[in-house]
Amino acid sequence: MKPRIRLDFCDFGPNFAKQLNFFYELLQTRFEIILCSRPDFLIHSHDGHMHRMHDCIKIFYTNESIRPDFRQCDYALTCFYLDNPRHLRFPHYIWDGNAGDLIKASGEAARLVPQKTKFASFIVSSRNPRRRTDFFLKLSRYKKVDSGGRVMNNIGGPIPGNVLGKLKFMEDYKFNVAFENESLPGYTTEKLFEAMKARCVPIYWGNPRVNEEFNPKSFLNRADFPSDDALIERIKQIDQDDRLLAEYLSQPYYHDNVPNLYFDHERILDFFEKIFASREKPVSQRQGFSLGRWTLVKRNHRHRWPPG
């Protein structure tokens, strides 16, 4: 029989489904998960303060560049490289990414090059950081870069269909400008993964250690060039030479075409098994309850608490 685990989720935002998410579906493969309002273990994110109302073992997860505060949580899964037994590195591209989607088949490049009939795509919903939009404008001086997001949109409106719409939009392009919101060690989001899944040559800026996870010969990394202009010159060369484009498209996205260790589900399950077996007193019980938590939660959710 699978171990029975009383679990809940909170602070993931309004569209989060407790039974349709990466953690619930993965944990069900090894444990019997009982969702309840008085859990023994709580997985929470950064979008709210309801986690403050719980005094059980708290597991913090975020897809943003927010470092865990171990005064507020017992364990954490984030993008950072932390030497801490209570932390597991969990890059955001793991959440929705299927490792097999980036494994390349033999002869892909010969098939892909004729399909890449458009130049470059760009999909962002925020103007920050400025270097991302600045690069878009610089590259657009060479050729039009089709912007399908809410920012700098030049195709008549944002592309529909969420992730599937993005992938469909990108698949005809040679390049995709995949700049992160910021450059931090470990912070690799879905942007690079999705550009690779659409079989573009990603133009990347972000995690300075990204080459440890993905083959640097399969994409263009801004960090490898002395300036934006030097990177753009290389983009021009590839755009004007199908043989060069084929070289990039023939490179595996993973080192040796093997998914990196972060896709290993057993690694994640082992981390949770260690958590569920722990008999340590939760950090929230060691700190005690404060009226400030109650006030903060009420203010955050703007409703009468408790209900009734």
CB atoms within 10 A of CB 9: 22
Counted residue by residue, the chain has a size of 308
| Domain range list for the chain | 4-95+263-301, 104-257
**Predicted local distance difference test score (pLDDT) of residue 76:** 98
- Note the pLDDT tens digit of each residue in 158-189: 999 889 999 999 999 999 999 999 999 999 99
**Average pLDDT over all residues of the chain:** 92
pLDDT average, residue stretch 303-307: 38
Mean pLDDT of 222-234: 98
In this prediction, residue 308 has a pLDDT band, given cuts at 50, 70 and 90, of very low
Confidence band of 306 (pLDDT split at 50, 70, 90): very low
- Supply the pTM of this predicted model: 0.89
Question: What torsion do the CA atoms of 182, 269, 49, 7 make, to the nearest 10 degrees?
Answer: 160
Q: In the predicted model, is pLDDT for residue 307 greater than 50?
A: no
Note the pLDDT of residue 126: 87
Distance (Å, whole) CA 217 – CA 58? 40
78-117 pLDDT, tens per residue? Answer: 999 999 999 999 999 999 999 999 999 999 999 999 999 9
Q: Which among 102, 141, 104 is positioned nearest to 119, based on CA atoms?
A: 141
Span between the terminal Cα atoms of the chain, in Å: 39
User: Does the structure show a pLDDT above 60 at 288?
Assistant: no
Band (pLDDT 50/70/90 cuts) for residue 46 is very high
Average pLDDT for 28-36: 98
Q: Span 236-251, mean pLDDT?
A: 98
Q: How far is CA 25 from CA 32, 54, 138, in A?
A: 11, 23, 43
Q: Which 3 state secondary structure label does DSSP give 112?
A: helix
Instruction: Point out the least confidently predicted range of 48-57, 202-211, 298-307.
Output: 298-307
pLDDT of residue 286: 73
Separation of alpha carbons 158 and 122, rounded Å: 11
Say what percent of the chain tops pLDDT 90. Answer: 87
With 50 as the cut, is the pLDDT of residue 136 above it?
Answer: yes
Please tell me the least confidently modeled range out of 32-41, 77-86, 240-249, 282-291. Answer: 282-291
> Which range among 15-19, 123-127, 290-294 shows the weakest confidence by mean pLDDT?
290-294
Per-residue pLDDT band at 300 (split at 50, 70, 90): low
CATH code reported for the domain at 4-95+263-301: 3.40.50.11650
Q: Is 50 exceeded by the pLDDT of residue 7?
A: yes
Q: Label residue 54 by pLDDT band (50, 70, 90).
A: very high
pLDDT surpassing 90 at residue 293: no
pLDDT at 297: 53
Task: Please check whether the two domains, 4-95+263-301 and 104-257, share a CATH topology.
Answer: yes
pLDDT given at position 69: 95
CATH class as words, domain 104-257 = alpha beta
